[in-house]
Amino acid sequence: MQECHFILLGATGDLAMRKIFPALFRASQAGLKPSICACAKSPLSTPEFLDKLNTRAQEYIKSLDPSAWEDFSANISYTPLDLTRLEDFKALQATHPNTIIYFSIAPEFFAKACQNLAAVGLNTPNIKIVLEKPLGTDLKSCQEICQEIGQHFKEEQIYRIDHYLGKQSVHNLFYLRHNNPFLAGLLGANYLDHVQVSVLETLGVESRGGFYDPMGALRDMLQNHMLQILALSTIPANIPIERTRQAKLEILKSLKPLSRAALKSQVVRGQYIAGGGLKGYTEEEQVNHNSQTETFVALKLELDHPSWQGVPFYLRTGKRMGISLVQVVFVFKGPPQALVYTIQPQCSLELQLQGMGALKSTLDSGMDAYERLILEVVAGNQAPFNHQDELEAAWSFVDPILQSWHENLTPLLPYTVGSFGPQAAFDLLHQDNREWFAHV
């Protein structure tokens, strides 16, 4: 039985209710024994908060065992807390040597919260903090946030969450390459023609328009999740697992900057328009009616890395796509044949060889991503979390793309709900005599 004290800032928010509390409950069923101090601005008593939490638990936890939930919620207390008021932080205590403070709050409050935590002594070496993305909207703002946090907490105390790194299905790809010399030998410049990474969603922005409109697909999905998938797909297969974090950093630093010409010819951005009875992006709740925010991005990039010289990578992500899919496709040289690794909706590995059809195996997707990441924080394992240097390397690659969009180098192209993006996304591969993998 592992014990910890869990202080959750932003406990009444959607993320806390939908993801964090269910993950903590599942972790408690697997042997974790957390005492939880839930904090938010709402002036609630503990019973009032638990009433609210119990209602949401019925919605988000399948086959909820009432007795198990009662045992779990008995260890939850609620403390009203204004993130900007130092006085409120004096009510918090580190009641266990393994104390975790989870920032389920907007990043603009990170610095103030860290300052107030430090002022009441809640930044001692035994305390860990967990930060949700996004950390900044560009390289400069990312560095500023990290610098402010770093004034109060050391790097080894900081766990920056990318929930994709908690998915067992994402890590399965690395483990397959790490433990399978056959695959390790094939996945590199000697045998590969190119690699495709697709993250497609049938959902639109739904009720997240207020968050999404200032961000867009490039910041919300490609800069973090997709570049992390790319890194895990390409790090050397023979490295020790404990060096995974450093190996990912080396890959991210090897991203070749896009020239001004490439920013015009190798980047596509789009925005969904109404179709099939569904709204267009600019008709969504909390979205500017004249918004130029992209809901689709496709681009071609290369790595300046010995194992991947000359191998192009094609990345695409979009909302309101024809299907929901997260997939990495390694396309081999010669006749059309590929190794297809699907992360969502069902984790699977498929080898397509000319004349042999497809050999497909379904893989275990493992535990929920947030549950796994919380257990990794408790254990003090930082490998599945982003280092500051990784964030900065990713932003260094993405910043010139954002700047080129401010200069209107890349037009914002419409695409209909239920399609697979603008025609320009297909032309991106057609101009190289390639095409997107037929995933349906």
Active site positions, annotated: 225
What is the Cα–Cα distance from 326 to 164, expressed in whole angstroms? 11
Q: How far apart are CA 312 and CA 317, in angstroms?
A: 17
* Cβ atoms of residues 332 and 193 within 8 Å: yes
Task: Quote the DSSP letter at residue 222.
Answer: I
Q: How many CB atoms lie within 10 A of CB 218?
A: 21
Cα–chain-centroid distance for residue 217?
12
Q: Is 201 annotated as a binding residue?
A: yes
Query: Alpha-carbon distance 232 to 175, whole Å?
Result: 10
Count the alpha carbons within 13 Å of 326 in the hemisphere toward its beta carbon. 19
3-state secondary structure of 353: strand
Using alpha carbons, list the distances in angstroms from residue 369 to 139, 184, 202, 375. 27, 26, 21, 10
- The DSSP code for 85 is -
Q: Is 256 annotated as a binding residue?
A: no
The alpha carbon of residue 215 and the mean position of all alpha carbons in its chain are separated, in whole angstroms, by 14
Measured distance CA(312)–CA(258) in Å, rounded: 13
Under a CB-based contact definition with an 8 Å cutoff, are residues 112 and 140 in contact? no
Tell whether residue 140 is among the known ligand binding residues.
no
Cα four-point dihedral sign 435, 340, 314, 294: positive
SS3 8: strand
Give helix then strand counts, H and E, for the chain. 17, 15
Distance of CA 392 to the CA centre of its chain: 15
Is 376 one of the annotated binding-site residues? no
Give the N- to C-terminal CA distance of the chain in Å, as an integer: 45
Dihedral, CA of residue 10, residue 160, residue 370 and residue 313, to nearest 10? 130
3-class SS of residue 5: strand
Separation CA 158–CA 132 (nearest Å):
11
220 annotated among ligand-binding-site residues: yes
Asked if 439 contacts 198 with a C-beta cutoff of 8 angstroms, the reply is yes
Q: Is 363 annotated for ligand binding?
A: no
Report how far residue 253's alpha carbon sits from residue 38's, in angstroms, rounded to the nearest whole number.
38
Annotated binding site for substrate: 163, 167, 201, 220, 319
Annotated binding site: 82-83, 133, 163, 167, 201, 220, 319
Annotated binding site for NADP(+): 82-83, 133
